[in-house]
Structure 1
Amino acid sequence: MNSDSLAPGAPQFLRLAGEQLRWDLLRALARSDQRVGDLITAVDRPQNLVSYHLRMLRSGGLVSGRRSSADGRDTYYRLDLDRCAELLADTGHGLHPALGLVPPEPPDPESARGRVLFLCTGNSSRSQIAEALLRRRAPRVEVASAGSHPKPLHPHAIAVMREQGIDLSGHRGKHLDEFAGQRFDHVISLCDKVREVCPEFPGHPGLVHWSMPDPSAAGDTPEAGYPAFVRTAGELSTRIGFLLRQLARPHAPETPS
């Protein structure tokens, strides 16, 4: 479908996603944050077309970009799933009040299964916070975190989690080599630098990337310091909420022995 053929009053989501290439880009970004080069490979289209349609999606608020901390010439693009949900709901209402989307029931934490590994460079804040949040929300998921150059936990990371009733004070930074040879259902990199050096894991789970700035690198401005760690925890909580729906899957009841 060509979005140019849509009625001028068509809902915003249809106007943004109703073009085939933009739909393909949204599908690719729904799985992982990606650079333009990654997206060119994923959708098999020329760079000028990919860049043009990315600008359309960004102007519509569905996609945002962040400069790579590994290479400042690159930008990682991220899909705003919350915004997509809002616009999809508006699309249904725009056709008929009875077609508004009903918010899905929260996933049952007991139904979430699998093994998840979070990675960042220092394993001192982002990946430790992600590990702690997922473990609390899905106790039956096996979750771990590691870094390519592990460091002691950052005091702000410990303080942010303490506010949420989670104690990280006894945790340590772990090298990703500690998990070499282990199988995971999801390997998620949170740092642009570690994405470039992440090894392949058994079973080829495929690396998912969440491009997140290092809160400890923000300096001592009013917007940085502790508030940067609060923002990081908030963004991770949102992303983990969507991850939980992937981890929660029906499973057969246990057969009595």
Structure 2
Amino acid sequence: MDAAGRAPGAPRFLHLAGEQLRWALLRVLARSDQRVGDLVIAVGQPQNLVSYHLRKLRTGGLVAGRRSSADGRDTYYRLDLDRCAELLAETGQGLHPALGLVPPTPPTPGSMRGRVLFLCTGNSARSQMAEALLRRSAPLVEVASAGSHPKPLHPNAVAVMRERGIDLSGHRSKHLDEFVGQRFDYIISLCDKVREVCPEFPGHPGLVHWSMPDPSAAGDTAEASYPAFGRTADELTTRIGFLLPNLARTHT
């Protein structure tokens, strides 16, 4: 109650997500980053309506956008899962103190199985870092990475991962053709360019896109781009943390 004895209004999350189309958009974005055109197809609604509700979600802080590196006219939208968790917790507590969101128990390493392939253009930073981070979190998951145009492993990727206790120095860059024809549970593209050229894989794997900028393009020198590699590692850590429960369900 406020000073006048009035009950507070509905929590912010309910205002943002309570509308049916906005809830549908959130569910689609919870799985993969998408462009407006992709969202129009996924929810089956006109573009102007999708854009209107997407703008509401962006203003509310649940969704963020990044300009596509493949086509600068496009923007990829992603769900801010950490922010959603915060607002959901506030929603429960706003109704009753005992209904605060309890963080889920992390899956045990032995409960996570399957095969995951991370893709980016050069296989020199993003996908290599993602491969290493997932392998550490889920040692029983078979994880690999590749690129559409491989180039040598970037020294900043090696240095940033070393700070996190992971040694990439023995890794090699691989072309995605090495894996065509193999079966995976998830194919996760990390850059917009490789998403456009990704070949089909057998077995109908889950196709997920994480639209992440190339950290090596963040500066003219290795020193200038180094902070971007740290941000990339942090974002990958967050995204992989939300991927783990799906892996735990893959072979149960």
Q: With structure 2 as the length reference, what TM-score do the two structures score?
A: 0.94
Classify 1:95/1:222 alpha carbon distance in 2 versus 1 (closer, same or farther; 3 Å): farther
Contact preservation (8 Å) 1:123, 1:173? yes
Report % sequence identity.
Answer: 85
Match of 1:243 in 2: 243
Q: Within the alignment, does 1:149 sit opposite 2:149 as a pair? A: yes
Unaligned runs of 5+ in 1: 1-6, 253-257
Alignment of 1:216-255 (within 5 A): 216-220=216-220, 224-249=224-249
**CA apart distance, 1:187:** 0.4
Classify 1:72/1:54 alpha carbon distance in 2 versus 1 (closer, same or farther; 3 Å): same
**CA apart distance, 1:60:** 0.5
Classify 1:250/1:34 alpha carbon distance in 2 versus 1 (closer, same or farther; 3 Å): closer
**CA apart distance, 1:110:** 1.3
Contact preservation (8 Å) 1:215, 1:224? no
Secondary structure, aligned partner of 2:249 = coil
**CA apart distance, 1:219:** 1.6
Match of 2:44 in 1: 44
Contact preservation (8 Å) 1:109, 1:138? yes
Secondary structure, aligned partner of 1:248 = helix
Alignment of 1:165-204 (within 5 A): 165-204=165-204
Cα distance in 2 for partners of 1:59, 1:221 equals: 35
Cα distance in 1 for partners of 2:251, 2:35 equals: 36
Secondary structure, aligned partner of 1:123 = coil
Q: Deviation per CA, 1:177-208, whole angstroms, max 9, x where unpaired?
A: 00011000000000000000001100111320
Task: State the one-letter code of the partner of 2:185.
Answer: D
Q: With structure 1 as the length reference, what TM-score do the two structures score?
A: 0.92
Cα distance in 1 for partners of 2:79, 2:223 equals: 24
Secondary structure, aligned partner of 1:208 = strand
Cα distance in 2 for partners of 1:251, 1:28 equals: 22
The number of residues matched between the two structures is 246
Alignment of 1:199-218 (within 5 A): 199-218=199-218
Q: Deviation per CA, 1:202-257, whole angstroms, max 9, x where unpaired?
A: 011132000000000112489951100000000000000000111113977xxxxx
Secondary structure, aligned partner of 2:106 = coil
Task: State the one-letter code of the partner of 1:11.
Answer: P
Contact preservation (8 Å) 2:119, 2:189? yes
Q: Deviation per CA, 1:90-148, whole angstroms, max 9, x where unpaired?
A: 11111111111111112111111100000000000000000000001110000000000
Q: Which runs of 4+ in 1 moved over 6 A?
A: none
The Cα RMSD (Å) is 1.7
Cα distance in 2 for partners of 1:250, 1:220 equals: 42
Unaligned runs of 5+ in 2: 1-6
Match of 1:66 in 2: 66
Q: Deviation per CA, 1:157-187, whole angstroms, max 9, x where unpaired?
A: 0101111121111111100000011000000
Cα distance in 2 for partners of 1:83, 1:153 equals: 33
Contact preservation (8 Å) 1:111, 1:250? no
Q: Deviation per CA, 1:57-95, whole angstroms, max 9, x where unpaired?
A: 000000000000000000000001111111111111111
Task: State the one-letter code of the partner of 2:192.
Answer: D
Cα distance in 1 for partners of 2:221, 2:9 equals: 44
